[in-house]
Amino acid sequence: MTKTKDLRQISLEGVSSFDGINTMLKDKGSNIRLAYAETVTKKDNNNRASGQTIFANDRTKQLTAHWVPNDSRRNADGNNLTYIVWDIFAPANFGFTNQFDGTAAIDASFDTWNTIKTNAKLEIVKRSNTQSNPSFILSGNPFLADISQVGFLPGIFFETYVGSGSSNNVLGVTFTFVFIDEDGNPTDINNDGADDTALKEVWYNDDFTWTDSGNTATEIDLETVALHENGHALGFGHFGKISVTKNNKLHVSPRSVMNAIILGTQRTLLGTDQASYKSIYGNWPAN
């Protein structure tokens, strides 16, 4: 089944490539720049592509970025982090008989990240689904929440902004934007050794067939991918070593939500995910 590419109400106005995003932001006089994008791929033995981190080409140092608690530059909701879902692109499999609203699975993924409370006080707070475009890349208003769940975008958007071939193998992508100073250098106002995250933007690939009831041979479990992407939204990178076994199967060790490929339905956090969480949010301040 070939899915038609439905652009609905947005266009590729202005920017036409990953590298064009920062030129656009500079031209707008913004104090925010795209730092990197992280992708995840499907387990597929015919296609050995795995998730990657793509750094913007104007970055001199390839540091990761972390959220700064109560950062006034992004109108932070105190020490909470907020997310919002773009209602228009929330339906998975749009226009097909198996269409469903992806909001519940996205919410469930954040609920799961919210369940780790070992010493951490971070609360991730949902804002009501919006009709307004929350995408910085697609000329919307990205300041509706810290983490914009842009939703299911046609594969052509992945080809344009993530890279050639990505419409066929990238399930989702998280874009990380950071604050820059007057000289154009990324800031680190709390001296934690990481650039300061300004906002995050998460896309899901509408060219795949999605499900809300667990991975199958042909369907991708949305909650599994959302849990992974929203791990990136919280600042976690990929984890685990990918190898090919003697009988030509892909193997990843140790298993983790943050593995660069999706091996199957994974809606709970594993040991390494909890350790990563603790390393970044173990000392996050209470509200």
Residues that bind Zn ion (CB under 5 A): 38, 40, 51
Q: What's the min distance (Å) between Cβ of 44 and Zn ion?
A: 15
Minimum distance, C-beta of residue 157 to Zn ion, in the bound complex (Å): 17
Closer residue to Zn ion (CB): 38 or 146? 38
88 vs 225, which CB is nearer to Zn ion?
225
Which lies closer to Zn ion via its Cβ, residue 51 or residue 102?
51
Phi, psi of 92 (to 5 degrees): -85, 150
User: What's the one-letter identity of residue 183?
Assistant: D
Minimum separation from the CB atom of position 238 to Zn ion (A): 5
Q: Which is nearer to Zn ion, 38 or 196 (CB)?
A: 38
User: Which DSSP category does 164 fall into?
Assistant: T
State the residue number with the nearest CB to Zn ion: 40
Smallest distance, Zn ion to C-beta of residue 224, A: 12
Q: Kindly tell me which of 69 and 102 has the beta carbon lying closer to Zn ion.
A: 102
Q: Are 39 and 205 in contact (CB under 8 A)?
A: no
For residue 82, give both structure tokens.
């907020």
Q: How far is the CB of 62 from Zn ion (least distance, A)?
A: 16
Which of residues 137 and 226 has its CB atom nearest to Zn ion in the complex?
A: 226
CA atoms of 227 and 212, how far apart (whole Å): 13
What is the rounded CA–CA span in Å between residue 203 and residue 148? 9
Angle at 10 between CA 153 and CA 94, to 5 degrees: 40
- Rounded CA separation 153/232 (Å): 18
User: Do the Cβ atoms of 68 and 189 come closer than 8 Å?
Assistant: yes
CB atoms within 10 A of CB 79: 16
DSSP secondary structure code for residue 192 in this structure: S
Output the smallest distance, CB 159 to Zn ion, in A: 18
